[in-house]
Structure formats: C-alpha cells, structure tokens
Structure 1
Amino acid sequence: MTLEMFSLAGSVAVVTGGSRGIGEAIAVAMADAGAAVVPVARSEDALGTTVDRIHDAGGEAVACVGDVTDEADIERVFDTAEREFGPVDTLVNNAGTNPFFGDATDLDTETWEHIMDVNATGTFRCTREFATRVTDRDGEGSVTNIGSVGSVVGLPSQAPYTASKHAIAGMTKTLAADWAPDVRVNCLAPGYVITEFTEGVRGNDEIREELLDGIPASRFAEPEEIAGTAVYLASDAAGYVTGEVHVVDGGLAAI
C-alpha cells in the first residue's frame, strides 16, 4: 500500500453540516487530500470560514446553502456540485442536531420527530439522492454517515439523539449490502469532540468529569482527529470497507 491510496485527487465531495465543528474539519481535510469540496449548511454566511480555509490552502470549494429536511434543497446541492465540479464521488452526511438533554418523560413528540427528521431521515434523503445519481451514471461512490458513539451504546439523558444515531448505523449496514459494489456505505461514529455541539456537556464541571472518567484516553477529541478517518473511508485505501460502524471515541465504547 502506498500513500497515494489515501489521495482524493480528482474527486468531488459533498459534506453536509460543513460550516463548523466536525463537518468543517472533514471538508478541509478532504480538500487537503485533493478533493473539490461542496460544504453544505443552512446559512451561506456560516460556510464562509470553511470555504476560506480551503481556498487559502489552494483547494477547490463552493459553498451551497441547503437543508437536509428539504428534498428540493438536496437536489439543488447535487446539481450545484455537478455544475461546478462534475459528478459527486463522495457524500459525507454530517448535518445533525441534538436540542434535548434530560429524562425521556420530559420529551415532547415534536422534539423527538425533529431530531429524527434531521439526523436519521435527513441522512437517508441525501444518501438516496446520491446513490440514484451514481447508479444513473453507472459509476461508483462512497457514503460516510456521521453517527456517534451513541450509534453503538446508550447515551444517558439523550434518548432521541441516541435513537437517531442507532438508526443511522442500521441504515448504513442495510444500504451497504443493498448497493454493493457500486456504492460503499460506512458510518463514522465519533465520541465526544471539542465543538460547539458538545459545549453544553463540556461546560458543566460535573458532567465533564464524569465523561472523562469513562473515556480511557482521558480527553475529548479534536475535530481533525475525526476528519482523518473520514478521508480514509472515502479513499481507495478503504476500497474493501463497507457496512462498517467505525468508532473513534478514545475507547469509550470499549468499557
């Protein structure tokens, strides 16, 4: 194996939730690996930093506003990517939400449905659109669904989020089997990462220490530590990898 197998040169990648945190890190890393990248978020202003970082490093990127709960938006994202760079080779489904933390008896159905719609159904919508286009052009493609350590274990006080991430893991396995060998589908499951998304739990001294006590690595991850695995899963180095839930959690799920 050579390092060239990890290159994404000549490929086109769409990264949803690409304006901050893990999504921003993945978009930048894929551009560094040679891909032309289309980061997606609901606000164009929010995408500016991601695109600027890619351009400053000499990479190619075009921001695209889109909401994963809107099928018309999703179609437009892929139309934009194809118009700007050509057929999309890689899809990273990173867009997600987690507005609830507490006992499930205090959870209203509307919040449950919103979390499932963004995290699980949004991932499905984007993946279906991508796979349809890959099949129509008789090509090959790679999907990386961003799950969570909550895809493989239960996360206390996060019932809807955990359910949505388990759904992503199950969907990944089934679609990988259904669509092989044309489309590889994998799930990247991060543990706790230093982002705005986890700021609430990390900012609570009691919760933070409890979390760190359960992580053998004794720390939270940097977004770039997740991005490297995303590049690998999209590359030829992972050409025989499909249907996997790849956990990057500092050992949390191991104990």
Structure 2
Amino acid sequence: MELDGRVAVVTGGTRGVGAGVARAFLAAGAHVVVCARRPPPRPVEAAGRRAEFIPLDLREAAAVHALFADVAAAHGHLDVLVNNAGGTPYRPLAEGTAEQHARVVGLNLLAPLTASLAAYEHLRAARGSVVMVGSVSGTRPSPGTAAYGAAKAGLENLAASMAVEWAPDVRVNTLVPGMVRTELAHLHYGDDAGVAAVARTVPLGRLAEPSDVGDAAVFLASDRAAYITGASLLVHGGGERPAFLDAATANKEV
C-alpha cells in the first residue's frame, strides 16, 4: 500500500475535504490522526480502519507543539502533515473589519505555518512531507472572500519557500482544489439544481469529490512523488470555462 506504516496528521480532518483526505490515507495504509476543535459528526473510517481524533485549536501554539510531540512519541515517528484546516464566511471587504479579515488570514495562513513549524523536527527525522491544501481562490480574484484568497495565495508561496529551506529532508507541496462537493456544498451552491448548474461550468462536468483531493494528497505524500517538492498540483477539473467564450457564442447557432 502507498502509505503502509506511515503516520499522518490531517488538520481539520473531521469533515469535508479533510475527512476525504483522511479516508484516502487510511485506505492507503497510514495511521491517521485528525484534529479539529470539535469531534467529527461520525467516525472517519475507510478500509475497515478508523482515524484517531485529537481535539486541537490551531490558534494555541503550545497545544499544537504538544500534539505533534505526543503523536511522534506514541507512534515512534511522524511522516506526513496535511494542513487542511481553513475556510471563510462570505464577506465583501467593505462589510468586514480589519480584525475580521485578519482572523481569516490567521486560520488559513498562520495556522498552517504554526503546525508546520511544530511538526518540522519530527518530519525531518522521518524524511517526511507536508501537504498544504490551497485553493483556486488564491490564484484568481476572490470577491466576497478576498482575505481567504489572499491567505491561500500566501500559503502557496510559503510552501514553495519552505520546500527550498527544508530540502532535502522534508518535501513540501500544495494541492490547489477547485470546487468540491462536500456536506456543506448547499451553503455555497444552493440545492441540487444549483450544484448541477455550477458543475456545468467545470470542463470535466462535475464538482470534485473529497476523495479526488484525498487521492491527490496520497500521491504527494507517497514515494511516487519522491522527486516532487515546491510544486502546486491543480485539482480543479480543468478550471473554469472562460466567460468570454460563452459571451462570444451566445448568439450563434451551434
């Protein structure tokens, strides 16, 4: 199995994309620790195996350092950190305060930095890897979630710099997902008809499933990616159909 015997920590791994990543790692043979402020609504399981849950607030640096020390001590090593925790409410810039936007940046950029620094010595000893979970919001304008987009852009740059500084001992890469169909998709895209309409804007004709992101994370963490570091892997189904194409052909018969 790709990750047989490896020990992986997935932040925010209790639901959504994070749970998809955790399940993919379990199926690939890893022992998986998921951490979040609240326990998962149901156990995170795959291939007859269950992820270990440890409560954690990533804003508390001392607790973050303690978690990685405890995991490494309990299992003898730490091989993979997946920095998945993040998110944002919809909030136009002028409708939020600087402090509110700063909290979004803190969760999506500073928290992964805190976790990576806490895990570094353990990952270095195991010659392990870090997988950042970015977003296409960091590669294009992100109206309504501008602070989130800025943080994800910063995260991708942070990962590239980290990869250079920490080579050859620790590989660091970024997954860049597009739209993902999670249990909260209705909050972003509406009912099933809304999800279907949004899916039609993606060249592959559907939203990603959490398992799609999880499989890509397994690849980056595995020995098959042994020569890949400082890279960004797009997991977005081809991106978005350029709006000008539809505008240019709107009045033409096909």
Q: TM-score range by the shorter chain?
A: 0.7 to 0.9
In 1: Cα distance, 2:10 partner to 2:152 partner: 18
Q: Is the 8 A contact 1:152 1:253 kept in 2?
A: no
Q: 1:4-34, CA deviations, whole angstroms, 9 ceiling, x for partnerless residues?
A: 6xx1011100000010011111111101111
Asked if 1 retains the 8 angstrom alpha-carbon contact of 2:87 and 2:104, the reply is yes
Q: Which residue is equivalent to 2:7?
A: 12
> Of 88, 102, 117, which aligns to 2:78?
88
The answer on whether the counterparts of 2:202 and 2:239 sit within 8 Å (CA) in structure 1 is: yes
Q: Which moved more, 1:206-215 or 1:177-186?
A: 206-215
Aligned residue in 2 for 1:22 = 17
Provide the rounded CA distance (Å) in 2 between the counterparts of 1:181 and 1:37. 24
Shift in Å, 1:129: 1.1
Q: Is the 8 A contact 1:90 1:234 kept in 2?
A: yes
Residues 156-209 of structure 1 show CA distances to partners (whole Å, capped at 9, x for unaligned) of 321011011101101011001111111100010111101144432211799757
2-structure distance, mates of 1:72, 1:134: 18
Structure ranking higher in helix proportion: 1
1:181 is matched with 168
The partner residue of 1:233 within 209, 212, 220 is 220
User: Is the deviation greater in 27-36 or in 77-86?
Assistant: 77-86
Aligned Cα root-mean-square deviation (Å): 2.1
The number of equivalent residue pairs is 242
Residue-by-residue CA offset, 1:75-99 (whole Å, 9 max, x unaligned): 2221331233221100000000212
Q: TM-score with structure 2 length normalisation?
A: 0.87
| SS of residue in 2 equivalent to 1:252 | coil
Corresponding residue of 1:38: 33
2:66 & 2:225 partners in 1: Cα distance?
29
Match of 2:67 among 77, 95, 102: 77
* Aligned equivalents of 1:48, 1:192: Cα separation in 2: 23
Q: Which runs of 5+ in 2 are unaligned?
A: 243-254
Distance in 2 of aligned mates of 1:103 and 1:116: 15
Name 1:49's counterpart in structure 2.
Answer: 43
Deviation readout 1:99-123 (Å, 9 max, x if unpaired): 2x24322121121111111110001
Alignment of 1:77-226 (within 5 A): 77-99=67-89, 101-135=90-124, 137=125, 139-203=126-190, 211-226=198-213
Matches of 1:209 and 1:27 in 2, distance apart?
A: 26
TM-score, normalising length: structure 1: 0.87
Kindly, what percent of the aligned residue pairs are identical?
A: 35
Q: Does 1:246 align with 2:205?
A: no
Larger Rg: 2
The Cα of 1:210 is off from its aligned counterpart by 6.9
Residues 197 and 183 of structure 1: is their aligned pair in 2 closer, same or farther, counting only changes over 3 Å?
Answer: farther
